[in-house]
Amino acid sequence: MLFNSIQFAIFLPIVFLLYWFVFDSFIKKSKNQLRLQNAFVVMASYVFYGWWDWRFLLLIAFTSFCSWGSGLLIAKAETRKKAKTWMWLNIVLNLGILALFKYYDFFASEFAELFNVSTVGLLLKVILPVGISFYTFQALSYSIDIYRGKIEPTKDIVAFFAFISFFPQLVAGPIERATNLLPQFLKKREFDYDNAIDGMRQILWGLFKKIVVADNCAVFVDHVFSNYTNETGSTLLLAAIFFTFQIYGDFSGYSDIAIGTAKLFGIKLMRNFNVPYFSRDIAEFWRRWHISLTTWFRDYVYIPLGGSRVSKAKVVRNTFIIFLVSGFWHGANWTFIAWGAYHAFLFLPLILTGKNRKYTNQVAEGRRLPTLKETGQMLLTFFLAVMGWIIFRAESIGQAWEYVRGMLQFGTLRACYRFFTLPEIRLTSLFVVIMLVIEWLQRDKQHGFEGIEKLYLLHNKYLRPILYALLLLLMMVFGGKHASFIYFQF
């Protein structure tokens, strides 16, 4: 079930009303009230997830059960060594499932090609379960955190299943930590008006980024990337820039809808994006892009390897490991590994010179506009990100290389012609600019529509819902046609 589908528009209000009116108010006096409400969350989440393919439910239930059981076994273990064994068993099991579904065919076909053997009977050709990379990492964090003594294991299997399967963030994150999300399922949630209204606004903002920005960019991007050999350099550059906004609008839009939806249920999810295209260097970009994944790798891979407090050779090794693994997490293709390696090369000079944490504050803090230097830094970082996205978007490394080569051949100004003659591109560019302006003005806020009730026209509490409705209508009318979310495939 997609967030931007009619089904979800029906599903969400039903679940919301049942959650608060039946499983909260109506059965308030029951001692099992919390448990029943959590069971309802699990049920609703399984309906949401099973909408794609009910067979996926068996897998997520199995992963949840094993991780829950491993947590109890880790805590019960008499020695540290035994606890470690249980933790590793859970890691191997979860990563094994992930590898089987996501990476086996890739390695098998690479093996077949390397040794020139037939792939007949070698490939599994299984469907990749939606969001498997997201919930697997969430499940892993639980057992690792118990082993590290950061959290206590829960005996409440229903709460744990709700933690793994909570539908707003199940298929594309944010990848929640057990330390943040699980305790919220272990205590009673209270409905908070301001929080719910803020959640609705965040959903609206996420829909704008997804439906209006990303989906409109997708039309042009898909066309150019599938005909890149026939396109001129300036068209290819324009399409690469559009893809940069497409992937941001798509993924951060999804995150905003997820976080906003969770707020309606009294659940607070972690922030996943923090205006990454206003970063002044690549290190800052990575602190602001897909935060839940980058911090996951930082906490569970990078720091255990020694992080940056080791010899320079090991820092280089650790940096490459984290970026390559992060790239590979996105999918079984050399392009993702190359994308990771590309960012590792950009990141290395910063970490080796100790400048990787130079920009930890918000750009132009306390000012309306950035300085010339900051603007230059942001543009350079943006350009580096664009180059990376070409590798990410390409079908193969060869295609990425051809694309970049084509981009450097500025034979004609066809992109400019397109820009000025095609109304779709003009309109899409306008939407991108609107997104950037709002994000810039709201860069110290959690999302683009946070606190907008303080703006002039939105003071009036009766006018506000009407303006939101108007915005929703305009979004639907001006929305693009690309329905699915890019990150679902990961």
Active site residue 223: no
451 binds another protein per the rule CB under 8 A:
no
Cβ closest to another protein, residue 157 vs residue 197: 197
196 binds another protein per the rule CB under 8 A:
yes
Per-residue x/- track, 43-82, another protein (CB under 8 A): ----------------------------------------
**Minimum Å distance from CB 33 to another protein?**
16
The stretch among 118-126, 241-249, 393-401, 411-419 that binds another protein (CB under 8 A) is: 411-419
188 binds another protein per the rule CB under 8 A:
no
The stretch among 74-82, 154-162, 338-346, 458-466 that binds another protein (CB under 8 A) is: 458-466
The stretch among 167-175, 215-223, 320-328, 377-385 that binds another protein (CB under 8 A) is: 215-223
Cβ closest to another protein, residue 149 vs residue 423: 423
CA distance 376 to 363: 12
410 binds another protein per the rule CB under 8 A:
no
For the chain, report the end-to-end CA distance as a whole number of angstroms: 16
CA distance 170 to 162: 10
Helices 193-207 and 233-264: crossing angle in degrees, nearest 10, is: 160
- Vertex 420, ends 418 and 426: CA angle to 5°? 90
- For 183-193, b where at least 16 C-beta lie within 10 A, e where not — what string? ebbeeebeeee
Task: Give the residue from 222, 122, 205, 127 showing the smallest Cα distance to 480.
Answer: 222
CA distance 459 to 467: 11
The stretch among 62-70, 255-263, 347-355, 465-473 that binds another protein (CB under 8 A) is: 465-473
CA distance 202 to 431: 17
Cβ closest to another protein, residue 367 vs residue 461: 461
CA distance 236 to 143: 45
The CA-based diameter of the chain, rounded to the nearest angstrom, is 74
**Minimum Å distance from CB 146 to another protein?**
36
95 binds another protein per the rule CB under 8 A:
no
**Minimum Å distance from CB 405 to another protein?**
20
The stretch among 89-97, 163-171, 368-376, 417-425 that binds another protein (CB under 8 A) is: 417-425
411 binds another protein per the rule CB under 8 A:
no
**Minimum Å distance from CB 466 to another protein?**
4
Among 114, 115, 116, 193, contact with another protein (rule: CB under 8 A): 193
**Minimum Å distance from CB 45 to another protein?**
22
**Minimum Å distance from CB 250 to another protein?**
15
**Minimum Å distance from CB 411 to another protein?**
12
User: Which tokens go with 267?
Assistant: 């659940």
How many residues bind another protein (CB under 8 A)? The answer is: 36
The one catalytic residue in 290, 330, 447, 482 is 330
CA distance 25 to 3: 27
Among 36, 72, 197, 348, contact with another protein (rule: CB under 8 A): 197
Please identify which residue in the block is written with the tokens 């590898």. 99
Cβ closest to another protein, residue 36 vs residue 197: 197
Task: Give the residue from 203, 165, 171 showing the smallest Cα distance to 185.
Answer: 165
CA torsion, points 83, 85, 91, 95, in degrees to nearest 10?
-170
Sign of CA dihedral 293, 299, 300, 302: positive
**Minimum Å distance from CB 113 to another protein?**
25
Among 372, 423, 454, 457, contact with another protein (rule: CB under 8 A): 423
Site residues for another protein, 222-251, by CB under 8 A, read: 222-223, 226, 230
Q: What is the DSSP secondary-structure string of 222-269?
A: HHHHHTGGGS-HHHHHHHHHHHHHHHHHHHHHHHHHHHHHHHHTT--P
Burial class (CB in 10 A: 0-12, 13-18, 19+), 252: buried
Cβ closest to another protein, residue 184 vs residue 428: 428
Contacts of 471 (CB under 8 A, 6+ apart): 204, 208
27 binds another protein per the rule CB under 8 A:
no
Cis (ω within 30 of 0) for the bond into 174?
yes
Cβ closest to another protein, residue 116 vs residue 230: 230
The stretch among 152-160, 178-186, 325-333, 476-484 that binds another protein (CB under 8 A) is: 476-484
Q: How many alpha carbons lie under 13 Å from residue 203 in its C-beta half-sphere?
A: 22
Contact residues for another protein (CB under 8 A)? 6, 20, 191, 193, 196-197, 200, 211, 215, 222-223, 226, 230, 414, 417-418, 420-421, 423, 427, 461-462, 464-466, 468-470, 472-473, 476-481
Which residues are part of the catalytic machinery?
330
